[in-house]
Amino acid sequence: MNYKIPLLIVLISASLYYFFSPASPLSDTQLTEHLNGKVVLICGASSGIGEELAYQLAAHGAKLVLVARSQDKLDKVRAELLNRGTPDENVMIISFDFSDVSRSKEVVDQTLEKFGGLDYLVSNHAAMITGPFLALPYLQDPDYLERIFRVNLFSHIQLAVHALPHLEKRNGHMYFTSSLAGELPMYRNSIYCSTKHAMNGFFYSLQQELLARESSVSLTIGSLGLIWTKEMAQMYAKGNLFPAWATGSAEECSRGMMEAYITRPQTMTFPKLAGTIYRSFWYFKPNFHEGLINTLKPKGSEGTGYKEVVEATGAKDDLRKKMGYQQGYGRQ
């Protein structure tokens, strides 16, 4: 009897179950038991995933240090937390520009001064830089490129360095928000992809160092796809151009991040299905990048659509400044 076909079916079925089935969620009670009273430092907390994560952590009794560049946005998040019943003494906000890498230690120091310790570091901040690299000279400027790498990579490394000794005292955990863009190239995202690829290379290697030294601290890298935040909804106000399987909600993503503090996986892929599909296509479909370009270039464009992309970039400059450069790291 030929066992190859049945064996292949079993392997495919097991793979589909592993990749596509959701992990057993933790209950609210379990989350509260674990998170109540824990000190969580969230960098990139004034909007998007970081903001939603702050609300969910506070609901389970965590003590929060919220860091972002915009003081006004942080004030609004703090006001909303207090409105939801979070005790005033459980929240501290810090306005900080992570392009000033050498001072990243101050964020950790202020956390320790306020709460006396640190249980979880959530390094979630990033400068979202998009646009056709060859067509936009300011993207090619060495000083500009260095600044983006300071924000998207070097500051994360420094936070890990300074937080690690204090996390080890409490068997803590670090979560670094990366992206599927850190595994696959993406059209019109050369700078953002390069910072996320570098981030993955460093922190997956750091995971091995932590294991080698038998550290009590674990590290999760969040390999995130397109998360439907309030900012994304505003950007695509005329309709979502992406299929449902390719996107996930900020609420579900934040819930998964909280559970990762307890289950401590090396990687958290969200949405899980999108990660599996993108990775499979990239590694096993040689012309996947061509299909991706054809999907993203403007409809009705000629040839590669490059000229139309450049024109669309200029036409939407106000929107790009509002959304793409909202952290203040883009073109003024």
Active-site annotation, residues: 192
**Is 317 in contact with 229 (CB distance < 8 Å)?**
no
DSSP 26: P
**How many residues belong to the chain?**
332
Tokens 């066992």 correspond to 3
Residue 84 has a CB neighbour count (10 Å cut-off) of 10
For residue 312, CA distances in Å to 296, 301, 309, 317, 319 come to 12, 11, 5, 8, 11
The H or E element spanning position 234 is helix 230-235
Q: Which residue has the tokens 């939603």?
A: 52
* Whole-angstrom distance, CA of residue 271 vs CA of residue 88: 34
Contact between residue 307 and residue 295 where contact means Cβ atoms under 8 Å apart: no
Beta partners for 192? none
Question: Which among 53, 46, 91 has a CA at the least distance from the CA of 71?
Answer: 46
CA 308 to chain centre: 29
DSSP one-letter string for 15-53 = HHHHHHSPPPPPPHHHHHHHHTT-EEEEES-SSHHHHHH
Q: What is the number of other CB atoms lying within 10 angstroms of the CB of residue 5? A: 9
Which residue, among 267, 322, 275, has the nearest Cα to 128 in the 3D structure?
A: 322
Residues 6+ apart with CB under 8 A from 102: 158
